[in-house]
């Protein structure tokens, strides 16, 4: 796994060796950023990486100039790899001195309920067997985490369908083998 573009291009990122974390493949990560290329000004973007794992998607956003990235992960071992990956992109190798990042070790749903700020881009790569996956977009939009012109991007199994929501719509959906990536945005009101 590596950073595929931007100022950290080519940096190798490590992940938990026990398969408890399923990092986004370079192909899927590249596709996500290709879709977002003309939709987001990365240098002005506030990014939230939920179920962050080793942090590869959030680090890719940093590499492309994201203003700030908040990583949320519940696994202690994944957080250790995430911090090591952040340290690997700094000049002195100290994750504590990585600018514009925050690592939150905790439950994603507790974070969603308690941190009330908006993000331009929210990445979520939850476990495919997560029971609350069908309601994840509703939970995030109902807690007002997505900025008005922002996007929620969820990686999920290809044949999975989300429960309809009153506040969001799927703007783009891409399929890669058994994986799909859905790009959600606020529902457009009729004028």
Instruction: Give DSSP secondary structure letters for the chain.
Output: -B--SSTTTT-B----TTSSS-PPPHHHHHHHHHHHTTT--GGG-EEEEET-TT-HHHHHHHHTT-SEEEEEE--HHHHHHHHHHHHHTSSS--GGG-TTEEEEES-HHHHHHH----EEEEEE---TT-TTGGGHHHHHHHTT-EEEEEEEEEEEETT--PPP-SSEEEEEEEEETTEEEEEEEEPPPP-
- Residue 140: pLDDT band by 50, 70, 90 thresholds? very high
Q: 22: pLDDT confidence band, cut at 50, 70 and 90?
A: low
Q: Among 19-23, 61-65, 86-90, 152-156, which stretch is predicted with the lowest mean pLDDT?
A: 19-23
| pLDDT digit string, tens, across residues 57-89 | 999 999 999 999 999 999 999 999 999 999 888
Return the CATH fold of 44-186.
Answer: Rossmann fold (3.40.50)
Pick the residue with more confidence: 142 or 29?
142
């Amino acid at each position: 796994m590596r950073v595929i573009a931007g100022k950290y291009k080519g940096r190798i990122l490590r992940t938990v060796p026990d398969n408890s974390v399923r990092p986004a493949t370079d192909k899927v990560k590249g596709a996500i950023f290709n879709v977002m290329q003309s939709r987001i000004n990365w240098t002005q973007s506030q990014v939230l990486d939920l179920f962050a794992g080793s942090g590869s998607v959030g680090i890719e956003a940093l590499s492309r100039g994201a203003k700030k990235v908040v990583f949320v992960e519940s696994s202690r071992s994944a957080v250790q790899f995430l911090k090591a990956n952040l340290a690997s992109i700094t000049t002195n190798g100290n994750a504590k001195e990585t600018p514009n990042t925050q690592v939150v070790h905790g439950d994603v749903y507790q974070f969603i309920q308690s941190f009330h700020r908006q993000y331009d881009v929210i990445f979520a790569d939850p476990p495919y067997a997560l029971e609350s996956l069908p309601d994840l977009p509703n939970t995030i939009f109902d807690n007002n985490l997505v900025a008005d012109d922002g996007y929620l991007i969820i990686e999920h199994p290809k044949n999975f369908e989300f429960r309809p929501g009153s506040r969001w719509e799927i703007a783009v959906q891409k399929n890669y083998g058994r994986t799909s990536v859905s790009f959600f945005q606020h529902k457009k009101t009729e004028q």
